[in-house]
Amino acid sequence: MNFWIILLIALGCATAVGASATRGEAKPNIIIIYADDLGYGDLGCYGHPSIRTPNLDRMAAEGMRFTDFYSAGEVCTPSRAALLTGRYPIRSGMCHNQFRVLRSKSKGGLPKEEVTLAELLRDRGYRTGMIGKWHLGHLPEHLPPQHGFDFYLGLPFSNDMMPTAEAPKGRAKFFAEKNEYWETPLLLGTRVLEAKPDQRTLTRRYTDEAVKFIRMNQKAPFFLYLAHTFPHVPLFASDQFHGRSPAGLYGDVVEELDWSIGQVLDQVRKSGLSGRTLVIFSSDNGPWLTYEHHGGSAGPLREGKGSTWEGGMRVPGIAWWPGRIPSGRIQREVGLTLDLFPTVAKLAGAPLSKTVLDGVDMSPLLFGTGTVNREPFLYYRGSTLYAARMGPWKAHFISQSAWGSDKPVFHDPPLLFHLGLDPGEKWNCAGTNAVVLAQIQAVVEKHRAGLVPVPTQLVETVGH
């Protein structure tokens, strides 16, 4: 073949590769921002009348807002395990009917056999950073550096788990704006950086570290998992935000989180990374309604954190990637935090292991190229399956309030709600939809038949 023809073919291939990278088809940066106990109705773009969230509203306007986005857990530990592994927490032992979450004296943690998003991406040449609340095991062998993260700064568990001896007993300590009542440590890697950090500064410190991480890693693909401590009680805001919101202290805290998201997105823009960075924002579960005005809003949904009613597990979900995700799109199909693992794997060109995954690649939804086929979504409370959603239909096999002394109520036949007509789950229509119920029950039985039991990680404790 003529030398010049060969050269032209080579130049054409190089141009095509360069064009693909320009279009964002090279390995993208991934940023997942996770709020703690933020409710479905707590943001302006989700209808809150008085909490101001201009940065998240802009993120939604420039990207995609999901109306039906779900966490796979009703409380902290299981939801975070599911996000990082793409698997229901029942498969990893990161759930329990009584303990529900890991405690400050727990010995367990995310099993090393579980492959996390960070491990998946680090094997593909990504720099990986985790900033904020971990809650997947606080002993050194369970911390983020042991699960694929090159950098970690944050709290090992919830900010309420180590009250001091001086703190009031009972609920009073959660309503007192006193940092001295709490001593959850701030970790850097696996060592204690501060034994008793000022929680009023946490959102700003996390934000500064996130911006620094983006700036320092802009020349190589990176994965940043920014898991904010708030608005989990006790609530704290910095001086710049304290007392500013018409929605009180809870509003102050959420508005500071919104500022944080704005800082992160601004750094992505300043670094020229907008065209090759996927940013996902969500919450680990619904609002902790038992804390009244310190607990947020589930909007039109029923119940909140701790329950398998919609308000406990349907959460805000916003996706942003200028040039790839159509701007201003409202996505009404179901999306799950479980979907992030297979979606990111596809985008990064990472092979998936033979481990069972419970999410699907949702890039057709994100990019407006089609729909996805998924199994019904299963609502677990601890290690017990309470409900399932298939299309717009949701069946409750068991129901129970989020917190309190009431016992589980078993439903035979199950309760059935059409979430399109009735997102507040008020009108049971099981009597006229026996075929739908039978279809949902068949899928649930298939799931149970294929489930391999694993020991829970949430039982054993250190000390007493």
Residues belonging to the active site: 76, 135
Give the largest CA-CA distance in the chain.
Answer: 86
For the record, the structure tokens of 436 come out as 């739908």
In whole angstroms, what is the distance from residue 116 CA to residue 85 CA? 5
346-376: b or e for each residue (b if 16 or more CB lie within 10 Å)?
ebbebeeeeeebbbbbbbebbeeeeebebeb
In whole angstroms, what is the distance from residue 125 CA to residue 128 CA? 9
In whole angstroms, what is the distance from residue 238 CA to residue 253 CA? 8
In whole angstroms, what is the distance from residue 65 CA to residue 411 CA? 34
Residues 6+ apart with CB under 8 A from 16: none
Q: Partners of 317 in the beta sheet?
A: 66, 282
Burial of 5 (0-12, 13-18, 19+ CB in 10 A): exposed
Burial of 280 (0-12, 13-18, 19+ CB in 10 A): buried
